[in-house]
Amino acid sequence: AIAKFAKKKIPKELTEEKFDAVKVEKRLMQLCAGCPHRTSFWSIKKALGLDKIVAGDIGCYMIGVHPPNNILDFVSCMGASIGISHGISKAGGKPIAFIGDSTFFHAGIPALINAVHNKGNLLLMILDNRTTAMTGHQPHPGVGLTGMGEETKALAIEDVVNACGVENVRVVNAYNIEEFVKTAKELYSLPGVSVIVAKGECRLQTVRKLARSGAKIPKFEFVEQPDEEKTKELEAFGCPAIRKRKNIFYIDKNLCWGCGACTQIFKGIKPKVEG
Q: Helices (H) and strands (E) in the chain — how many of each?
A: 10, 10
Q: Are 273 and 233 in contact (CB under 8 A)?
A: no
| Average pLDDT for runs of 10 along the chain of length 275 | 83 78 83 97 97 97 95 97 98 97 98 98 98 93 95 98 98 98 98 98 94 93 97 96 95 95 97 80
Q: What gap in Å lies between CA 199 and CA 169, rounded to an integer?
A: 13
Q: Give the model's pLDDT for residue 215.
A: 93
> Residue ranges of the domains in the chain?
36-133+153-206, 216-271
pTM of the model: 0.89
Residue type, 55: A
Q: Give the model's pLDDT for residue 275.
A: 58
**Is the domain 36-133+153-206 a CATH 3.40.50.970 member?**
yes
Q: Give the model's pLDDT for residue 1.
A: 76
Residue type, 228: E
Pairing mode of beta strands 242-245, 248-251: antiparallel
Half-sphere exposure of 251 (CA within 13 A, CB side): 27
* Strand ranges for the chain from DSSP E: 54-56, 74-75, 96-100, 122-128, 168-173, 193-199, 220-222, 242-245, 248-251, 269-271
Q: Give the model's pLDDT for residue 20.
A: 82
